[in-house]
Structure 1
Amino acid sequence: MTFFKHLIVLTSVLKKISLAVFFFTFFHGLGQTLLVPDRVFDGETMHSGWVVAINGNKITYAGIPEGFKGSKGVTKISLPGMTLMPGIIEGHSHLLLHPYNETSWNDQVLKESPAERAIRGVVHARNSLMAGITTMRDLGAEGAGYTDVYLKKTIDEGIIPGPRLLVAGPAIVATGAYGPKGFHDGVSVPLGAETASGIDEVIKTVRRQLGNGASFIKVYADYRWTPGAPSQPTFLPQELEAMVATAASAGSYVVAHASTPEGMRRAIMAGVETIEHGDGGTLEIFELMKENNVALCPTLAAGDAIEQYGGWDKEKESEPERIKAKKVSFNLALKSGVTMVFGGDVGVFPHGENYREMELMVSYGMQPLEVLKTATSVNAKVFHLNNLGQIRQGYLADLIAVKGDPAKDILAIKNIKMVMKDGQMLKQEN
């Protein structure tokens, strides 16, 4: 078959992909690629008139056009009206969950098989990638065992498209403190996480999860002991300390679901790296987090979505108490100067709508440029991603282009026109 017949067949197979993406991929190996947007957000600062050069999967230049010393065969891609920025790093997601107004969390855990949830996860991973999420921290398989580990494996091997993944595996809960609940004591139900109690058992559980492929350990430092009850601390301080020490000795770390002041305090003092949610955090607790270099992932979008599922019309009705309280705690966190992690608990709401968290962070009082930093360079630092989150020479070419200027209007982040991961163009629109 001739070259042109091959080209016709391949183009037909890839008909859902734009010709610009196809030809970029086909000719990418011939030399450097020069991206020419209106502006570049490098992960820390916005620059007008910059260009960015790519060779293979690495950034080779970022700066003013006059400083670029390109060789022959440079492919130039113009991005008029767009902001080029590092790929977004999602800090709190659940690829194996889908919105609770479609199916409740209990029914997802009890009635959807790991196979079905894995198939959904493939779709969720692609939707996230096309929305500009090139790296994602997944905070637990929620009853699907190590399915998130295998999603990561298939993405890494190029079998399915998706973001770079950091995965928690099953997550760890104190015996008796998690669900699904509401059944009599003679009924055995699958749980949304792995239970453990006592120093020896929590050490063994951390080692097992890391050995089975978890990138890090997620623990529940507080939770509801019975349905509808307020959250209370779960693990003893000594248990949390043992899990942190065990993970550290294996070259990993621990993050904690925590929403009560005491649950947060225990997790902070034990040495976790991030607190997830933090709804009941006080100024004293957030200052303690800052002092101990513990970051906060506030997950504003999850609570916003759940209130709407419960009937709140946010366009017409006043804010529920839960939203008012979350705004107060978020502003206390801002006042404390604690490091913020971008992560919305996506899965509670649709994958691919990760931008909701950025919109709410701005709405609740954070500056748009600070939100962009959090979703790129800050998350990269917190998650130990040394070659991502910034547009700098030698960094991996995970890049996105946004129509407009999201530093002036955060809503622009919804309009993703280009996605590049590891130097491969996956989406390009005018």
Structure 2
Amino acid sequence: MMKVLNIGQKNSHRSTAHVKRNLIWVLLIFTAHMIQGQILLVPERVFDGESMQQNWVVLVQDSIIQYAGPETGLRPPASTQKITLQGMTLMPGLIEGHSHLLLHPYNETPWNDQVLKESPAERALRGSVHARRSLMAGVTSMRDLGSEGAGYTDVALKKSIDQGIIQGPRLLVAGPAIVATGAYGPKGFHDGVRVPLGAEAVSGVPEAIREVRTQLGNGADFIKVYADYRWTPGAASQPTFLQEELDAMVATAQSAGKYVVAHASTPEGMRRAVLAGVETIEHGDGGTPEIFELMKARGTVLYPTLAAGDAIAQYNGWLKGQNPAPERIQKKKASFQDALQSGVLIGFGGDVGVYPHGENYRELELMAAYGMPALEVLKAATSLNARIFHLPSLGSIERGFLADLIAVPGDPAKDIRALREVAFVMLNGSIVKQP
């Protein structure tokens, strides 16, 4: 039987301040008991990371899932707190694969101005707000793909979350990221003007190796490289790094037990990155069936960032739902469908930051709209991303896994839009949002 604390009238000789202190202390103890004790979650259905289960319950003790299965197979202790999630689907917390917590939508402030005019301190403050919004939207883990000119501010943001200073998802961060000399922005200034870049520039194998080691030493969890980019503003993207440079960066990261991901949108940039051994390709707009077949053969995972392209097209004047889709959107959709057809693994990562943090569902909805079955979309956002990001205790609802859980109304396997309305969030066994 759950204990009930009665807080009665205090003796008159006690001061009002003393009573208030006692009351606050009792409430803190009660809250800790309610949130960190044994909790039995009773939803209408459970998506366990692979399939939808009916009539399941989930028992959480402290930070760990102790039981997941039919209620008839469980005898919880009498002191267990029971939470009924009526009409809801319980599922693993979302794992966002491509984000930029230190950016905000480009229709608010262009990317150039964010890099050049917003200080790292301002961007850190924004990032703390973005992190909490993400968590409240059901994102319990997040891979951040570069600080975009803010140095190692993403590393500091991760530390602040880990230490409980601010609320946010578990973070995996890339630090500044690495670009080829001359291939990244901000651009458009004459050669006498030196401006901060959105990433660290290198040329040649020795510099590339040195920068990988520097970034790992400064706290990056993995390395992001730009395998192609625009050499001049407005030009088409072209490959940037030579094969030997990419090979050296991947080998250096792997020797330290880390991995490399690549921004790549051209067939040749993607090919070089895949042959070098990067674990994921980010964007992949120009991917061809041949490139996707190569990725499949090498085990390279695609993060298509559909929502970023969709948002930028709208910033550029596309009236979605009223006007025909621009050519870039049509090509992106066709490329995504080629990737689906090839059988290459596709993860969930929308490049959030280009569009508002907390609206991570945009990518999930577009993945479904472009042809991926909703159940596969749910897998991409949970168990698949956990496996690809080397998070062995996350992404599934099963005994012994960490209790990162969310609940949404209805059945997201039938209507992915249910993920717009995350009603319950548990991070590491602590309830941070509930109906």
For this structure pair, what is the TM-score category when the shorter chain's length is used for normalisation?
Answer: over 0.9
TM-superposed CA distance for 1:224, in Å, is 0.2
Deviation track 1:361-402 (CA, whole Å, cap 9, x = no partner) reads: 011111110000000000000000000000010000000000
Deviation of 1:32 after TM superposition, in Å, equals 1.6
Cα distance in 2 for residues equivalent to 1:134 and 1:347: 17
Cα distance change of structure 1 residues 8 and 317 upon mapping to structure 2, 3 Å threshold:
farther
For 2:362 and 2:293, locate their aligned partners in 1 and report how far apart those are by CA, in whole Å. 27
Counterpart of 2:46, as a letter, is V
Is the alpha carbon distance of 1:3 and 1:260 closer, same or farther for their aligned partners in structure 2, counting shifts above 3 Å? farther
Partner of 1:5: 20
Q: Which letter maps to 1:355?
A: Y
Matched, 1:406 2:421: no
> Which amino acid counterpart does residue 322 of structure 1 have in structure 2?
R
User: Which of 54, 60, 68 in structure 2 is aligned with 1:62?
Assistant: 68
Counterpart CA distance in 2 for 1:154 and 1:184 is 39
Structure-2 residue corresponding to 1:77: 83
Aligned match for 1:149, one of 151, 155, 168: 155
CA distance in 2, matches of 1:290, 1:25: 47
In structure 2, stretches of 5+ residues that fail to align are 1-14
The structure 1 residue matched to 2:100, chosen from 94, 98, 106, is 94
User: Helix, strand or coil: the match of 1:54?
Assistant: strand
Offset of residue 10 of structure 1? 7.2
User: 1:296, 1:342 → 2: CA distance?
Assistant: 9
CA distance in 2, matches of 1:10, 1:227: 59
Alpha-carbon distance between aligned partners in 2 of 1:124 and 1:3, rounded to the nearest angstrom = 38
CA distance in 2, matches of 1:141, 1:75: 41
**Partner in structure 1 of residue 57 of structure 2:** 51
**In structure 2, C-alpha distance between the alignment counterparts of 1:3 and 1:406, rounded to whole Å:** 50
CA contact (8 A) 1:174 1:195 kept: yes
Q: Say whether 1:162 aligns with 2:168.
A: yes
TM-score by length of 2: 0.94
Confirm whether residue 308 of structure 1 aligns to residue 314 of structure 2: yes
Could you say which residue in structure 1 is the equivalent of 2:236?
230
Larger radius of gyration: 2
What is the identity percentage for the equivalent residue pairs of Structure 1 and Structure 2? 70
Deviations 1:294-340 (A, max 9, x none): 00000000000000001110121000001100010000000010011
Paired with 2:18 and 2:306, the residues of 1 have a C-alpha distance of: 52
- SS of the counterpart of 1:187? coil
Does the 8 A contact of 1:25 with 1:425 survive in 2? no
What do the CA deviations read for 1:14-39 (whole angstroms, capped 9, x no partner)?
9xxxxxxx96544344x421000000
Q: Which amino acid aligns with 1:183?
A: F
Structure 2 vs 1, CA of residues 72 and 311 (structure 1 numbering), >3 Å: closer, same or farther?
Answer: same
- Summarize the Cα distance change of 1:181–1:307 in structure 2 as closer, same or farther, 3 Å threshold: same
Partner SS state of residue 416, structure 1: coil
Structure-2 residue corresponding to 1:186: 192
Deviations 1:100-143 (A, max 9, x none): 00000000000000000000000000000000000000000000
- Shift, 1:196, TM fit: 0.6
> Within 5 A, what are the aligned runs for 1:288-299?
288-299=294-305
Per-residue deviation, 1:7: 6.9
Asked if 1:108 corresponds to 2:150, the answer is no
- Would you say the 8 A contact 1:35–1:76 is kept in 2? yes
1:255 alignment partner in structure 2: 261
Runs of 4+ aligned residues of structure 1 deviating over 4 Å after TM superposition are: 1-4, 6-12
- 2:3 maps to which residue? none
Q: Secondary structure at the match of 1:315?
A: coil
**Residue 142 (structure 2) aligns with:** 136
Distance 2:18 2:261 in 1: 52
Tell me, in whole angstroms, the C-alpha distance in 2 between the residues paired with 1:196 and 1:381.
31
1:69 deviates by 2.8
Task: Measure, in 2, the Cα distance between the counterparts of 1:366 and 1:7.
Answer: 55
Q: TM-score, normalised by structure 1?
A: 0.95
CA distance in 1, matches of 2:314, 2:431: 36
Q: 1:371 aligns with which of 377, 383, 386?
A: 377
Distance in 1 of aligned mates of 2:31 and 2:95: 24
The alignment status of 1:352 with 2:367, answered yes or no, reads no
Letter aligned with residue 371 of structure 2: G
Q: Determine if contact 1:24/1:425 at 8 Å carries over to the other structure.
A: no
Q: Is the 8 A contact 2:262 2:273 kept in 1?
A: yes
Quote the Cα distance in structure 1 between the aligned partners of 2:121 and 2:350: 25
Question: How many residue pairs get matched?
Answer: 420
User: In the TM superposition, what is the alpha-carbon distance from 1:68 to its structure 2 partner?
Assistant: 1.2
1:139·1:218 contact (CA, 8 Å) conserved in 2? yes
Distance 2:257 2:19 in 1: 51
For residues 400 and 44 of structure 2, the distance between their equivalents in structure 1, rounded to whole angstroms, comes to 22
Amino acid at match of 2:188: G
**Match of 2:34, SS?**
helix
CA contact (8 A) 2:35 2:431 kept: no
